[in-house]
Amino acid sequence: MSTGTEGSRTPRQRELITIATRLFARNGYHAVGINEISGELGLTGPAFYRHYPSKEALLIACLDDAITAHLEAVVDVVRSISDPLDALQAIIDNHVDFVFDQTENIQTWRTEFRSLPEADRHRLRYLQRLYTEEWVRIVRQLRTDLDIEQVRTMCQGAIALIQSATEFQNRLPRDVVGPTLGRMARHALMGTPVAALPAARQDSARMTGSGSSVGDAAAG
């Protein structure tokens, strides 16, 4: 039950996606009602159905838009950078940004994905696999010593490593945590050294409780 791509959505549909993503991540999909989502835009419950046929359709739209935009972004990166090592770094940086910018969608995917209709699960999983294969295509050029299944496993692990930022509380700011996880992912794929966190910035973050932390992002 696809609801269309991001580019075909009306402004009101995109507003509903933004609100629903936040509420689903904060309260859980089953605890959020259509009236609650609609109320934030000053809509009545029945008015919701002019934009989506059901709350489930809105959930699918939230996940669909996130993974489709993410896939398109990484395809653009791979096609625009000829040097594979530069392309890998760009892919890693893009995924770090995605994880921090789409924390709420990632959390909703993790908790609600299995409750989606089977056809939508298969379609979204397919898009997810296409995304991973863009990583595999680049890393295979750099790790000719490995077979494709080894490369694919390493890419899946690197992606999961970066996405771990959505699962733990951290008082360090995004501009410390993000690059650190990115360097760890590159190390996992290429064996490059991982620099230690800057001590002064750690101390500063602990003292100030920076508002741009992973924990704050996860809280929505």
Domain ranges of the chain: 62-219
The reported pLDDT for the residue numbered 146 is 94
Identify the CATH homologous superfamily for domain 62-219. Answer: Tetracycline Repressor, domain 2 (1.10.357.10)
pTM: 0.79
The reported pLDDT for the residue numbered 25 is 85
The reported pLDDT for the residue numbered 7 is 58
Q: Which residues lie below 8 Å from residue 149, measured CB to CB, with a gap of 6+?
A: none
- Eight-class DSSP state of 185: H
Q: How far is CA 207 from the centre of its chain?
A: 29
- Nearest C-alpha neighbor of 135 from the set 88, 178, 70, 190: 88
Amino acid at 209: G
Distance from C-alpha of 147 to C-alpha of 150, rounded to nearest angstrom:
5
Residue 55, both tokens? 């709350």
The reported pLDDT for the residue numbered 14 is 93
- Eight-class DSSP state of 50: T
Distance from C-alpha of 102 to C-alpha of 90, rounded to nearest angstrom:
18
Residue 27, both tokens? 């309260």
The reported pLDDT for the residue numbered 115 is 82
The reported pLDDT for the residue numbered 170 is 79
Cβ atoms of residues 173 and 212 within 8 Å: yes
Cβ atoms of residues 165 and 203 within 8 Å: no
> SS3 of 42, please?
coil
Cβ atoms of residues 148 and 136 within 8 Å: yes
Task: Give the chain's residues under pLDDT 50.
Answer: 1-4, 200-220
